[in-house]
Structure 1
Amino acid sequence: MADKDRAAKEQQMRASINAKLIETGERDRLKEALQQKLIDCGWRDQVKAHCKEVVKQKGLDNITVEDLVLEMVPKGRALVPDSVKKELLMKIRHFLASQSDL
């Protein structure tokens, strides 16, 4: 029962944090900053090139958008540089530390 309680509490905390990020506009600012970082580090170009390669290998008529998304999501996440992940996490922690009502 303790695991269920902890999981429910974590889910509630995530929802509360997400609501605060949206309410303050910080979510959009973080999203824009992340998009720019991914462009700057070449992530977007890497993902685009990998998409083209997958389509080329499987053939345009043999792949659906859903298939491509299923293949690209794990690859895209793996290609995000650790430095970008750490920077985003630090920004989120800083935001949370500045919020007295969470």
Structure 2
Amino acid sequence: MADVDAFYRRIKLRLVETGEWDRMKVTIGPKLNESGWLDDIKHKGVERASEMDQLSFQTLFEALSKAGHVGLPLPARRELQAMIREYLEKQFE
């Protein structure tokens, strides 16, 4: 599993370094906003933060990450996966 995690980190770093990460965010962002996903995550964040006795960024981030992955609209998830797949195929040609 450590190899998979290391590979994931390298891919993400490469996406950021090449600007592909930002391009993907620009493409998917409006669709997430239109679907209400962004508002839902913001609402969950505010709700979760108000329930915490001592505000912890790490705890809040972990909770929102899980909620974000689970609630990601299927069309956006598929489009993002396709963009990542296309990027990886170009890298390994």
Q: TM-score, normalised by structure 2?
A: 0.68
Q: State the structure with more CA Rg.
A: 1
Percent sequence identity is 29
Equivalent residue pairs, number: 91
Match of 1:86 among 55, 78, 81: 78
Name the structure 2 match of 1:69.
61
Q: CA RMSD in A?
A: 2.8
For structure 2, the residue ranges without an aligned partner over 5 or more in a row are none
User: Does residue 1:37 correspond to 2:37, yes or no?
Assistant: no
For structure 1, the residue ranges without an aligned partner over 5 or more in a row are none
- Residue pairs, 1:17-32, within 5 angstroms: 17-32=11-26
